[in-house]
Structure 1
Amino acid sequence: MAVIIPPISTCLSRMTSGERRFARRLESLLEDDYLCWYDLPLGDKRRYPDFVILHPSRGLLFLEVKDWKPSTLKKMNHSEFELLTPNGRKVVPNPMEQARQCSYEVLKVLERDPQLLQKNGKYGGKLCFPYGWGVVFTNITRNAFDKGIPDEIRQRILPGHLMICKDEMTENADAEQFQERLWSMFNYQFGEKLSLPQIDRIRWHLFPEIRIDQGQLDIFQENEEQASSPVENPNIPDILHIMDLQQEQLARSLGDGHRVIHGVAGSGKTLILGYRCLHLAQALNKPILVLCFNITLAARLRGFMYARGIDDRVQIYHFHDWCGEMLRSYHVAVPNGDAPIWERQVESVINGVESGSIPRGQYGALLIDEGHDFEPAWLQLVTQMVDPDTDSLLLLYDDAQTIYRKKSALKFTLSSVGIKAQGRTTILRLNYRNTREILDFSYRFAKQYFTQSDDPDVPLIEPEAAGKSGNQPAVRKFNSLDEEINYCLRCIEAWNNKGKEWNKIAILYPGGSVGEKMASALQESGIPFLHLKNSAKKKMYSDTAELINIIPIPSSKGLEFDTVVILDGSFSPRREDGDEDGLIEDVRRLYVGMTRAQTALMVSYHRNNKLAHSLATIGDA
């Protein structure tokens, strides 16, 4: 069964009856190594072919689907068709020419990628896979065309081998004959199959929105230099990072209503949130609210939205900053009291909503990242902010990364706080961020401290490695904090001398004074850095700035770096060895820090406690 993206069930409302029938034929009559995309924009002009089909050995095919009937067609030529509609005569583009032009536009882009070209032989420098285009007429039989249009005109305007007709896509159509109809639309065939990396490169070019790389030039935005040099394009990286098919399928298929994505660390939850914002920004009139519990992550997400030109429609806040904004905007006072100011602010917003001082339903959609760190009362508050007419809510969650709440597992059901997502929870098990060695190391270190949620819709899930292999993480024991810092300093200088950029390195710490001491050491060495020690500094975070980031582990959630050093790994703030809840919090904090590392991880410590024993044990394993 072919993969249809988005799934047919999620786009029925915008499909014509003929498109629905044809999509079901693709799904049932093609094997599972076919990829089919429906009604997605391509190219700098954002053309929308009805279907794009990709097969490893067959190639790339672009199809237009028309529900016209024989009585509808009145005149045709190479560029235009004249149709008789209920509203009178209408002139439309020739669908065959539409498909051809769309394919040429995309092919120009693909031809700039050296890894998609044949290297040698007669066709050296040409695309290494076949391509074609055609038209599907869902309400006109082959016989009707043969009888109604003179052969000379038909072959010139609608060549028979480039069409599929009504009687060739019936429910009982033969799969082999159906596929032969599709692939007769190609003028040639190759014997070589596309590799998986080549298929991913084609997807990277066709759909810029699924790229994981930040700051890449959108190559659909042509310029004269690119057009004059179609093969060499320095803006195309050798190694590409994109959503895998499950992530793309999920991102494109999220429908209306409340949805929950429960994904392990590094599974691409935040990436899917970004894609969802791009979609909603085009579909909704009211602003979109994105909330998270990490100030640094909020800064990163704001940069993502700004780079894509939707920052005026997507509002991103750290939860407590959003509470402060509500209080200022609606002139709600915060009462005096002994509780911390942020607790009193939250309570004031809750009271303001209940009294009507702060209106409900202000946003067309609500997206919550790091939902595992939200208290029940917070979730119950923010779910009221969604416009009931759209009722669009997405919660991203991983209970294994909970480090702020005193109890480590979710002790309430999502339905109890107004999230109506029963049966609409998607689980992402694959970790793409970390090497297999880093993921295995991190999970073995922390897994005994993970506990199951009370909500059956939010199970505890074990991550599965999808990333590449690499070096084993390093655990280093020292006699003092100063020794840890000096060793870290020597390591990062050596890495930089070997070509590693400063912003690929992050220094994380659980707490205490090590952040300030490391910052002083970097300053003395003339190494550029940003210490995200307070709210103002966290809001300055940028993943493109050429400097090393020093980050408290809780503020690193949602971020990732090529190389991570965790300093003072056995730090435990004022806890007794018998404080089991405190130990669980410490271990989970370290797990979050470890899983920020993409390819290299080092953990150092100097204390003598349970954490030190656990680090020593896992380091020796």
Structure 2
Amino acid sequence: MNLSAHARRQVQQRATELVGGEFPGLGALPRQVLAALLAHTAAGWRLFVREGFGGAREAGADVFLIGPGGVFAVVVDERLPDLDAARALMRHAQHRLSGIGYGLRTLAGSGIHLVVVGPNGGRSTNGMYLSLALTELPRLFRRDALHLDRRQVESISEAAAGRLAGYRRLSVRAPGREPEPTGLLDVRELTEDQVAAAQQRPFDSWLTFLHPHQQAVVTRRYNGPARISGPAGTGKTVVALHRLRHLARRSTDPLLFTTFVRTLPLVHQRSFERLAPELADRVEFTNLHAWVRGFLAQRGIHVNVHSGQIRTQFNLAWRGHREVLGALEPRPEYWRDEVDRVIKGRGVESLADYLRLSRRGRSLRLDANQKRLVWALYQDYEKLLQDKGLHDHNDLITLAAQELGGKGLERPYAAVVADEVQDISLQGLRLLRTIAGDGPDRLLLVGDGQQQVYPGGWRLSDAGIPIQGRGEVLRVNYRNRAEVLEFARRFDATNQVDDLDGAVGIALQEAESANSGGRTESWRGPVADLPAALVEVVRGLPVPVGRTAVIALHRRELEACRDALRAAGVPVLWLEDYTGQEDGKLKIGTVHRAKGLDFQAVLVVQFARHEAVDEEARELRGRQHLVAATRARDYLWWGTAESA
């Protein structure tokens, strides 16, 4: 509360007196808990207390607490409830409050927190609720957890008042503050905490609100693997995180959230800890290759992965085939992708299989003789790896699949969620299917073919993952302000992955916009002028520098930018080291590292290239540009540097 120490003492005294008058005879613990919660109503929180609080135990929460930090159903009890009792309490809270509308969205059942306050706190044994001691109650009011503004709090509270029959609303005022006129919301009267929620985290209301379509996907029961697709910014990952919480409440087994991008799980783990702190230990967040490494280590299988040495072995193999394959396509990177993403990534085991393969997503057509030449390159590369005792990342996937085929997981996951699946290899998808196993609600795949930033393509059916009748498409963009979204729509980001299973996908052009406003700016000039231009725009940012990212297609293009920013005294943090923690540093990284992330402001650095490129490279670059642009929420600066 933004009050002096004396005023806080007065508020606490008023709260204690009110509790004593309204609920005489309360025991020490419920009296102290209720007074502590009531004191926060002086700072804009809303409190609804069960009429019979302190008497015989009734079904449902003792208190509903609504404020900038979210919606809480609070139970005060000397003993922790068992699993069945906790589920009954959650059902009661969801029945009373879920579905309350706010604009296009509603209060999500998975956005309601169940809190049990006891004499000693302790950890919930089933992950259904957050268990706190009296002294731990300030955790509910932490400033880093604030995400609702005053209008949202009032909207929920007014609707809740009509739904919470058998509860009475209690509040106290801060000294010298006049009663608030009903329905009047003046931003000048916001408390410090409410300003923090309204201004510092303007897009974090997803922790509480979801669109009705999103909410339906969160709670829907699927009798097999399911898929969520949709353009950038439509809340696919948000829905996945809410669904994880929903599924975790229905089981006591562990859950897995994974993706191709190495750093993305750390960021989403922090988001999930804010959404569901009681489940922090139940859900494992890790990228797919890290999971595989850990699994193989547990099974005593040694692997030797060294990226630099792997590149060296491919380059050695390329030397023997450069003359013949270079005549078809001179870039060795193209053929490395062919081996990595097509032959090994799709699990092609023989030349005969490769000859029959439809190379989806690759624009250069190869006849049978040309494929034989590629196969010879692949074989030489494999021999060099074996001679050095090396494994590449595809080998890890293959080894894990073989090991799981012989002996499954000792403790299966209740559910597996895979994000950004458009960039996972076909072999990786097959492995995910094996990890998840068969059964309802076991595997959820989340992605968007238009945001594929690696070459090649596939369909889910190619991986043996049928999702007919279990595919969901999200269409409303909640991330990007209208001006930013309009800028991103200019990119011709076609793709060969469609909606991930062969049907016509929804492009960003077709997405509905939910947020007005925003600002975009463009700059074009010589490469030599780029550092000064970048420093100038950073100094004039309309948002805090710590919520801003500089993005480029290649890391080498960022190094001059990094040096210029550091020379200007701007602290920077590479995206591979970013965990979602607010630290006041400007984030900097490639579009591949920025996948799945978003920032209030994004500065994209593009280096104009005038060399001829084929259709596949042009489409890939368009998708990468679209991904870079859609990382921005409020402000997008697009800088184009041209060679002299």
**Pair in the same fold by TM > 0.5:** yes
Partner of 1:306 in structure 2? Answer: 273
Mapped pair 1:235 → 2:185: no
- The answer as to 2:298 corresponding to 1:329 is yes
Query: Please, which of 524, 539, 548 is the counterpart of residue 567 of structure 2?
Result: 524
SS of the residue corresponding to residue 422 of structure 2 reads helix
* 1:442 pairs with 2:488: yes
Work out whether 1:369 is the aligned partner of 2:416.
no
Structure 1 residue runs without a partner (length 5+): 1-43, 46-61, 65-77, 81-90, 114-194, 221-225, 533-537, 610-621
What pairs up with 1:437-516 in 2 under 5 angstroms? 437-447=483-493, 452=498, 455-457=501-503, 459-462=505-508, 463-471=510-518, 473-480=520-527, 482-495=528-541, 500-516=543-559
**Residue in 2 that maps onto 1:56:** none
Q: Determine the C-alpha separation between the residues in 1 that align with 2:520 and 2:147.
A: 33
Query: Within 1, Cα distance between the matches of 2:437 and 2:411?
Result: 4
Q: Alignment identity in percent?
A: 21
Which of 431, 451, 470 is 1:381 aligned to?
431
Other-structure match for 1:251: 218
Partner of 1:353: 404
8 Å Cα contact 1:361/1:384 also seen in 2:
no
* Counterpart position of 1:262: 229
- The TM-score, its normalising length taken from structure 1, stands at 0.59
2:146 to 193, 216, 220: 216
Q: Check 1:454–1:383 CA distance in 2 against 1; reply closer, same or farther (3 A cut).
A: closer
Decide whether aligned partners of structure 1 residues 539 and 328 sit closer, same or farther in structure 2, where only a CA change above 3 A counts. farther
Task: Kindly indicate which of the two structures has a greater share of residues assigned to helix.
Answer: 2
Unaligned stretches of 5+ residues in structure 2: 1-32, 35-47, 71-99, 115-142, 157-169, 175-179, 181-189, 305-384
Q: Give the 3-state SS of the residue equivalent to 1:434 in structure 2.
A: coil
Q: Per-residue displacement from partner, 1:328-387 (whole Å, max 9, x unpaired)?
A: 111123375377622222222122223x15648731111010011111111111111124
Amino acid at match of 1:530: L
Per-residue CA distance 1:501-551 (angstroms, 9 max, x = gap): 12221101110423222222222222222023xxxxx25432422211002
Match of 1:580 in 2: 615
Q: Is the 8 A contact 1:265 1:401 kept in 2?
A: yes
Q: 1:315 aligns with which of 269, 272, 284?
A: 284
How far, CA to CA, are the matches of 1:346 and 1:516 in structure 2? Answer: 33
CA contact (8 A) 2:485 2:630 kept: yes
Secondary structure of 1:558's match? Answer: coil
Distance verdict in 2 for CA 1:587–1:252, change over 3 Å: same
Does residue 283 in structure 1 map to residue 250 in structure 2?
A: yes
Whether the aligned pair in 2 keeps the contact of 1:295 and 1:539 (CA below 8 Å) is no
Work out the CA distance in 2 between the residues paired with 1:457 and 1:268.
21
The alignment partner of 1:473 has SS state of strand
Secondary structure of the equivalent of 1:602?
Answer: strand
Q: Distance in 2 between matches of 1:217 and 1:398?
A: 27
Matched residue type, 2:596? G
Q: Secondary structure at the match of 2:256?
A: strand
Normalising by the residue count of structure 2, what TM-score does the alignment of the two structures yield? 0.57
Q: How far apart are residue 465 of structure 1 and its match?
A: 3.0
Corresponding residue for residue 342 of structure 1: 393
RMSD over aligned Cα, in angstroms?
4.0
Which amino acid in 2 is paired with 1:582? A
Is 1:596 the counterpart of 2:643? The answer is no
Query: Structure 1 227/332 Cα, relative in aligned 2: closer, same or farther at 3 Å?
Result: farther
Q: Secondary structure at the match of 1:567?
A: strand
Q: CA deviation at 1:208?
A: 4.3
- 2: CA distance between counterparts of 1:540 and 1:608? 31
Q: How does 1:17-416 map to 2 (within 5 A)?
A: 105-106=63-64, 109=66, 203=107, 207-208=111-112, 215-216=145-146, 228-229=172-173, 234-236=192-194, 237-238=197-198, 241=205, 242-255=209-222, 257-307=224-274, 308-334=277-303, 336-337=385-386, 341-354=392-405, 356=406, 359=409, 362-388=412-438, 392-404=442-454, 406-407=455-456, 410-412=457-459, 414-416=460-462
Distance 1:112 1:474, change over 3 A: closer
Distance between the aligned counterparts of 2:567 and 2:171, measured in 1? 48
Q: Is the 8 A contact 2:519 2:634 kept in 1?
A: no
Taking a change above 3 Å as real, the CA distance of residues 360 and 440 of structure 1, as seen in their structure-2 partners, is farther
Deviations 1:186-206 (A, max 9, x none): xxxxxxxxx975796x84899
Distance 1:265 1:234 in 2: 33
Rounded Cα–Cα distance in structure 2 between residues aligned with 1:491 and 1:458? 39
Match of 2:478 in 1: 432
| Distance of 1:112 and 1:260 partners within structure 2 | 31
2-structure distance, mates of 1:286, 1:196: 33
Helix, strand or coil at the partner of 2:267: helix
Contact 1:263–1:397 (CA under 8 A) maintained in structure 2? yes
- Matching residue's letter, 2:258: L
| Cα distance in 1, alignment partners of residues 246 and 108 from structure 2 | 18
For the residue of structure 2 that corresponds to 1:606, the secondary structure is strand
Note if contact 2:453-2:623 (Cα within 8 Å) is conserved in structure 1: yes
Counterpart CA distance in 2 for 1:531 and 1:592 is 18
> How far is 1:391 from its partner?
5.3
Q: Contact 1:259–1:425 (CA<8 Å) still a contact in 2?
A: yes
State the alpha-carbon separation in 2 of the partners of residues 451 and 217 from structure 1: 36
Aligned residues: 413
CA deviation map 1:114-134 (0-9, x unaligned): xxxxxxxxxxxxxxxxxxxxx
Amino acid across the alignment from 2:600: D
Deviation for aligned residue 1:243: 2.1
Inter-CA distance 539–382: structure 2 relative to 1 (3 Å threshold): farther
Deviations 1:86-127 (A, max 9, x none): xxxxx9978xxx79x87xx44x747999xxxxxxxxxxxxxx
Q: Which runs of 4+ in 1 moved over 6 A?
A: 91-94, 110-113, 217-220
**How far apart in 2 are the matches of 1:565 and 1:209?**
36
Structure 1 position 420 matched with structure 2 position 463 = no
Amino acid at match of 2:475: R
- The separation in 2 between residues aligned to 1:581 and 1:369, in whole angstroms, is 24
Higher mean displacement: 384-393 or 273-282: 384-393
Residues 290 and 317, structure 1, Cα contact 8 Å, conserved in 2: yes
**Partner AA of 1:604 in structure 2:** G
**Separation of aligned partners in 2, 1:435 and 1:381:** 37
Tell whether the 8 Å contact from 1:437 to 1:469 is kept in structure 2 after alignment. Answer: yes
Taking the aligned partners of 1:577 and 1:543, their CA distance within structure 2 comes to: 41
Measure, in 1, the Cα distance between the counterparts of 2:606 and 2:629.
13
Helix, strand or coil: the match of 2:501? Answer: coil
1:140-173 alpha-carbon deviations (Å, 9 max, x no partner): xxxxxxxxxxxxxxxxxxxxxxxxxxxxxxxxxx
Q: Does structure 2 retain, via aligned residues, the 8 Å contact 1:266–1:432?
A: yes
**C-alpha distance 269-475 of structure 1, shift in aligned 2 (>3 A):** same
**Contact 1:474–1:602 at 8 Å: present in 2 too?**
yes
Measured after TM superposition, the shift of residue 274 of structure 1 is 1.0
